[in-house]
Amino acid sequence: MSDPRITRFQDLVAKNPANEMFRFSLAQALDTAGETAAAQEHYEICVAAKSDWMLPRINLGKLKLKSGDESAAKTLLEDALQLAIAQDHEDPAMELQELLTKLS
- pLDDT of 88: 97
- Check whether 1 has a pLDDT greater than 60: no
| d(C-alpha 87, C-alpha 14), whole Å | 31
Same domain, 65 and 84: yes
pLDDT in tens, 80-99: 999 999 999 999 999 999 99
| d(C-alpha 75, C-alpha 9), whole Å | 28
Q: Domain count of the chain? A: 2
| d(C-alpha 58, C-alpha 79), whole Å | 9
Same domain, 15 and 61: no
pLDDT in tens, 5-42: 999 999 999 999 999 999 999 999 999 999 999 999 99
Range of the domain at 7: 1-50
Going by pLDDT thresholds of 50, 70 and 90, the confidence category of residue 2 is confident
| d(C-alpha 62, C-alpha 14), whole Å | 26
Same domain, 43 and 59: no
| Residue 99 phi, psi (nearest 5) | -60, -45
Same domain, 58 and 94: yes
DSSP-based three-state secondary structure for 84? helix
pLDDT in tens, 38-75: 999 999 999 999 999 999 999 999 999 999 999 999 99
Going by pLDDT thresholds of 50, 70 and 90, the confidence category of residue 104 is confident
Same domain, 79 and 40: no
